[in-house]
Structure 1
Amino acid sequence: MAYYSVLEVTPTNQDWVPDYIGPANALVAKYGGQYLARTTSHERLEGSGEEPALRIVIQWPSAEAAKGFMSDPEYVPHLKARTAGSISHHSLIEGKDDLA
């Protein structure tokens, strides 16, 4: 069953960005992840609140793959830099329909 990381990221500074993209791309691929969307082109259709600068959706082959990525020793310093230099929210969603 697929799992999806859904992230909302608003950088508070750009210092971490150049050193983040390459390693994050490589590690997402290492864990079988695939970026489905990484974009500043988004529109809120319902609800209110501040819009994040960037929305990201990553498909994973399993929850373990997503969690492995997040805890990979090569990723941890980049994660710390991202969270220190942005307002970030990250949810892991199981690809199933509980209401069907």
Structure 2
Amino acid sequence: MKLAHAPSPAVAYRGGDLPDLVNSAGLTGGPVVGDGTWLAIGEVIARLRAAGFSESESTVRRMIDDGTLESYRTERGGHRRIKAESVADLIRRRAEGQ
């Protein structure tokens, strides 16, 4: 079924500063990722490659583990989400040669 327009997600707050995305079953899945604030690992790799860097998934995971990239794990599934701003900072630092 094709929709004429994309539905906008219902957003609820859990007391923290990050909004939760509530799916159609009423389950929360962690901070909103569809707005570009938080990225999946594949999206991080795509941004790094677009900037001319060839990082692998394991390298990105190491950067998350050592704190180079700000991230969190989703409540459901434990997927990593990386803050888009920290990816942009990394790209900027590398472009400046730091």
**Bigger relative CO (Cα 8 Å, ≥ 6 apart):** 1
> Which of 1 and 2 has greater Rg?
2
Structure with bigger strand share is: 1
TM-score, reference length from structure 1:
0.26
